[in-house]
Amino acid sequence: MPRDGCLFSFSDRLRALYVPGVGQLHFFFATIAGRVRASVRYSAASSMLRHGEPSGTQGWLYKEGRVLRSKHRRFLRLKGTILSNHHAENAPATWEVSVLDCPVRAGAKHNELVIQLPSRRVSLFAENDREFNRWVQALKTASSRSIDDFYRVGELLGEGAFAEVREAFDRDTGEKFAIKTINKAGLDDAQKDGLLREMNIMKSACHPNIVNTYDVFDQKNYLHIVLEFMAGGELFDLISASGAFPEKQAAHAAQGILRGVAYLHAHGIVHGDIKPENVLCKARAWPLQVKLADFGLASFVGEDGVLLPNPNVQRPTGTVGYIAPEIVRRQPYGPPADMWACGVILYIMLSGKAPFYGADDDQVSEMVERHELHFPDDPWRRISDSAQSLVRGLLQASPAKRLSAVGALQHAWFATFSAEVARTASGASGLMPSADERDLAATTPSRANLARRRFRTAVLGIASLIRWRVLSV
């Protein structure tokens, strides 16, 4: 059944990177006493997903020759539904097949596995009965992991260069989900490693303000990730439809974002790309229930509080307009960079304008680096001093002076709406929507798209339009 609660602690479940040849997943996690390094095996996470963890096993088998029938030692690796053959443990694959497309069965001979490749049949022999049974079970599990067996895939919701998102329905319960399908054929090795890193962070995190990952189906050319369906769409769309939020609504949204960020930071993870497009809403209704999404640039934090080396990220990353001064200067950075992005989002929610803007990305970055932060009378004279204090605390030029997620959540501004925010956190509304809120919930798609384009232009001028992924009506 879907993951409504957390069955395990984050540190018991977090899997950051699969290391070929070791068969384990390694990760860093924070504890009260400090950060420690730990390892967990695949089996520890099997109950985290609705239909179990993708199969993973590897080891030596013996390949029977086609002419002399002599046996040669080969290293086989099963990862998800992909079976690959290697001459040595760390050697590249000589062939790889999907067990969904190429049947694997027990042969007539003792401990024989028969793989029907597209052009020929391959016989492999296990060293003993125990190894044979291990491989038979793993292959049986992998061959039954077709996404179509569990979900009925429906309408396209969105697409990018290498991925698309579609609605999907559980074949047994009819429950609605979103399935992100990534075309791995267009990715290089570094991108595939980054994708694996992202996937394992997503499926390990469990918090009310982080989008749930319910299933993973790894096939030869495609990776399917079954996600919580967020009917309210992007926070960006809701801001663009209204221009700016009243303080009460901004407080609700900001607290949800900060709670998700605090959870990540407590476990040694920096999101790396916090922006309104990566904050999703459970519904287009007030008060908003927001959740963080898209962990493609997420990284881990070392003992010194800065990001650990990530071979998949060769340069500072993020989205112009949201990246912190230390990133612009190419200095080491860590959790405070996420807090800067939270400050930018809060500034936009309250004013409908971006704090840093320019004719192009370079001008925006220069404004950030010089810390040219302004609060013009229109509209800031209508916004409380307490709200402005929180924005300034998040947009401090020095990372050391910037508010942490926990510190921001304790700011006096939230106390103004504490009772209402508490009801939001518990999932109870308890608030009557204003006329503006009713208009937002009823916004039609055509009005939303028009507002979206106008807001993009207003919030950043003509800068970064490509990065903002302009959509047509």
Least confident of 56-60, 97-101, 155-159, 446-450: 446-450
Enumerate residues 6+ apart whose C-beta is below 8 A from 291: 208, 209, 210, 211, 228, 230, 256, 260, 279, 280, 281, 282
* d(C-alpha 333, C-alpha 35), whole Å: 18
* d(C-alpha 85, C-alpha 74), whole Å: 7
pTM of the model: 0.71
* d(C-alpha 435, C-alpha 255), whole Å: 23
Residue 401 counted as an annotated binding residue: no
Mean pLDDT of the chain: 76
Instruction: Supply the pLDDT for residue 4.
Output: 47
Highest averaged pLDDT of the listed ranges 133-137, 141-145, 441-445:
133-137
**CATH architecture, domain defined by 233-460:** Orthogonal Bundle (1.10)
pLDDT at 188 over 70: yes
Instruction: Supply the pLDDT for residue 1.
Output: 45
Q: Are strands 222-228 and 213-218 parallel, antiparallel or unpaired?
A: antiparallel
Confidence class for position 68, pLDDT limits 50, 70, 90: low
Taking the chain, what is the end-to-end CA distance rounded to the nearest angstrom? 37
**CATH architecture, domain defined by 56-143:** Roll (2.30)
Where in the chain do CATH 2.30.29.30 domains reside? 56-143
In single-letter form, the type of residue at position 397 comes to: A
**Which H or E run contains 457?**
helix 445-460
Confidence class for position 104, pLDDT limits 50, 70, 90: confident
Where in the chain do CATH 3.30.200.20 domains reside? 10-46+147-228
Instruction: Supply the pLDDT for residue 454.
Output: 47
Instruction: Supply the pLDDT for residue 371.
Output: 92
Confidence class for position 48, pLDDT limits 50, 70, 90: low
Region 255-266 average pLDDT: 96
Please, are residues 225 and 180 in contact by the beta-carbon 8 Å criterion? yes
Instruction: Supply the pLDDT for residue 452.
Output: 47
Enumerate residues 6+ apart whose C-beta is below 8 A from 77: 20, 57, 58, 83, 84, 86, 93
pLDDT at 213 over 80: yes
Instruction: Supply the pLDDT for residue 429.
Output: 36
Instruction: Supply the pLDDT for residue 103.
Output: 75
* d(C-alpha 249, C-alpha 253), whole Å: 6
Task: Report helix, strand or coil for 63.
Answer: strand
More confident residue, 367 or 303: 367
pLDDT at 312 over 50: no
Least confident of 26-30, 301-305, 429-433: 26-30
Please identify which of the residues 218, 273, 294, 338 carries the catalytic annotation. 273
Q: Which fold has domain 10-46+147-228?
A: Phosphorylase Kinase; domain 1 (3.30.200)
Decide if 273 is catalytic.
Answer: yes
Quote the strand ranges of 323-362, DSSP E: none
Where in the chain do CATH 1.10.510.10 domains reside? 233-460
* d(C-alpha 348, C-alpha 319), whole Å: 15
Q: Is the dihedral of CA 319, 321, 327, 328 positive or negative?
A: positive
Highest averaged pLDDT of the listed ranges 98-107, 143-152, 350-359, 439-448:
350-359
